[in-house]
């Protein structure tokens, strides 16, 4: 009889027990592993376990799962300040399926119902609804008063605060100074309004700065879901610091509003022979005149770069006037001398010093 003393049978590797947390409708098949010492070891694995996914399921299971997934991507947003701009944003938020709450000093209950927004005249009632996001749509001048008047103790500790002001360093400073440290802060500036964004937001700039966002996955995800509102609408997303934003805004937005308001004072009107450039100026007046003077004053008062731009604009206007009047004086001077030559002919040159006779006396007038 032949023997093989060097032959060693390897022990079968044990696979981990099935995870009970797995979906019970998934087929679990665990085949037997051949074992030469079958008599010495009891079977370690189940032979076969099958559960059909086609077993009796609720008829609306798929639609419910889909609805649950969609709901997980939506936010409950509380808008503080439900004026023109708040209503403008709320319309799109509702269309995307977000639940929108609103509060304002003025009663906008009828307008809110038409938009599908729940309106609260008392901020305490809104905060007790525990919105995930508080969206400040107040004027620049009233932001601090409104923020200090909110019952923050009624909100969840990690609520996300967002502003949409046209200046950024000012609200950033307010949020960090007034809000509890557990609250998240996102400073944004949709660089469009009801006029410029009435035909959609595609291609329009949206500036944001993640000032303070918690590291928890849920808080990071909430911030991204809010930003995705504007991504879905096709906005041009620009992430930059609040300081950098204010520097750029003073050179673009403040100058634009200043020129628009200057042109508005001229009472420009359309003509039958408008050029494209003139049409652009009329559109500029239309876009800027629709905004309140408080907004323009806020752009000046709460952006320390604005004063420099206003002084530069004034200096540029004075320099242009000097250049224009300088050319005008040259033309007038030239015309005056041309007329003098035509009327009197070429004038005889006279010596700068009077002639003197040899004896040192002045000559008579006939000799000069």
How deeply is 142 buried, as exposed, middle or buried, from its count of CB atoms within 10 A (0-12, 13-18, 19+)?
A: middle
Cβ(183)–Cβ(154) below 8 Å: no
Cβ(183)–Cβ(163) below 8 Å: no
Report CA-CA distances (Å) from 362 to 51, 135, 367. Answer: 136, 94, 10
> What is the tens place of the pLDDT at every residue in 271-290?
999 999 999 999 999 988 88
Amino acid 312: pLDDT: 95
Amino acid 362: pLDDT: 58
Amino acid 135: pLDDT: 99
Q: For CA atoms 362, 363, 364, 368, give the dihedral sign.
A: negative
Amino acid 85: pLDDT: 96
Amino acid 41: pLDDT: 56
Continuous segment of H or E residues that includes residue 119: strand 118-120
Break the chain into its structural domains and give their ranges: 73-239, 241-339
Classify domain 73-239 at the CATH class level: alpha beta
Question: Among residues of the chain, what percentage have pLDDT more than 70?
Answer: 73
How deeply is 355 buried, as exposed, middle or buried, from its count of CB atoms within 10 A (0-12, 13-18, 19+)?
A: exposed
pTM over 0.75? The answer is no
β-sheet with 160-163: strand ranges across: 118-120, 99-103, 76-80, 133-136, 160-163, 184-190, 205-212, 236-239
- The rounded distance, in Å, linking the Cα atoms of 148 and 169 is 18
Pairing relation of β-strands 205-212 and 99-103?
unpaired
Cβ(141)–Cβ(124) below 8 Å: no
> What is the tens place of the pLDDT at every residue in 127-145?
999 999 999 999 999 999 9
The third-level CATH classification (topology) of the domain covering 241-339 is: 6-phosphogluconate dehydrogenase C-terminal fold (1.10.3660)
Residues 6+ apart with CB under 8 A from 106: 82, 83
Cβ(89)–Cβ(79) below 8 Å: yes
Render each residue's pLDDT in the chain as its tens digit; 368 residues.
455 555 555 555 555 555 555 455 445 555 555 555 555 555 555 566 655 555 566 766 565 555 555 556 899 999 999 999 999 999 999 999 999 999 999 999 999 999 999 999 999 999 999 999 999 999 999 999 999 999 999 999 999 999 999 999 999 999 999 999 999 999 999 999 998 899 999 999 999 999 999 999 999 999 999 999 999 999 999 999 999 999 999 989 999 999 999 999 999 999 999 999 999 999 999 988 888 899 999 999 999 999 999 999 999 999 999 999 988 888 887 887 776 666 655 555 555 445 555 555 556 655 55
Q: Map residue 279 onto helix, strand or coil.
A: helix
């Amino acid at each position: 009889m032949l023997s093989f003393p060097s032959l060693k049978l390897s022990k079968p590797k044990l696979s981990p027990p099935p995870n009970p947390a797995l979906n019970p409708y998934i087929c679990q098949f665990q085949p037997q592993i051949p074992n030469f010492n079958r008599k010495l070891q009891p079977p370690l694995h189940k032979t076969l376990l099958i559960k059909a996914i086609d077993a009796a399921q609720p008829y609306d299971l798929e639609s419910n799962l889909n609805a649950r997934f969609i709901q997980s991507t939506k936010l409950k947003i509380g808008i503080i300040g439900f004026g023109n701009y708040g209503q403008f944003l709320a319309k799109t938020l509702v269309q995307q399926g977000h639940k929108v709450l609103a509060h304002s000093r003025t009663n906008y209950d009828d307008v809110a119902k038409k938009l599908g927004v729940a309106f609260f005249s008392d901020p305490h009632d809104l905060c007790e609804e525990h919105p995930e996001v508080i969206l400040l749509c107040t004027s620049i001048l009233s932001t601090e008063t409104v923020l200090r008047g909110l019952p923050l103790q009624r909100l969840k500790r990690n609520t996300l605060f967002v502003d949409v002001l046209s200046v950024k360093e000012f609200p950033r400073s307010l949020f960090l100074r007034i809000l509890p440290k557990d609250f998240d802060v996102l400073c944004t500036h949709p660089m469009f309004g009801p006029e410029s964004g009435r035909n959609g937001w595609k291609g329009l700039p949206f500036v944001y700065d993640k000032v303070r966002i918690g590291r928890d996955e849920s808080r990071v995800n909430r911030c991204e879901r809010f930003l995705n509102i504007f991504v879905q609408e096709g906005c041009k997303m620009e992430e930059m610091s609040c300081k950098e934003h204010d520097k750029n805004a003073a050179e673009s937005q403040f100058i634009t509003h200043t020129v628009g308001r200057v042109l508005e004072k001229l009472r420009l009107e359309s003509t039958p022979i408008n050029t494209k450039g003139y049409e652009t100026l009329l559109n500029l007046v239309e876009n800027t005149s629709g905004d309140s003077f408080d907004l323009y004053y806020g752009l000046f008062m709460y952006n320390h770069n604005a004063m420099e731009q206003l002084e530069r604009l004034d200096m540029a206007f004075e320099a242009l006037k000097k250049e224009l009047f300088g050319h005008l004086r040259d033309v007038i001077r030239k015309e005056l001398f041309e007329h003098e030559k035509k009327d009197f002919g070429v004038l005889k040159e006279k010596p700068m010093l009077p002639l003197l006779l040899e004896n040192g006396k002045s000559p008579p007038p006939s000799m000069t």
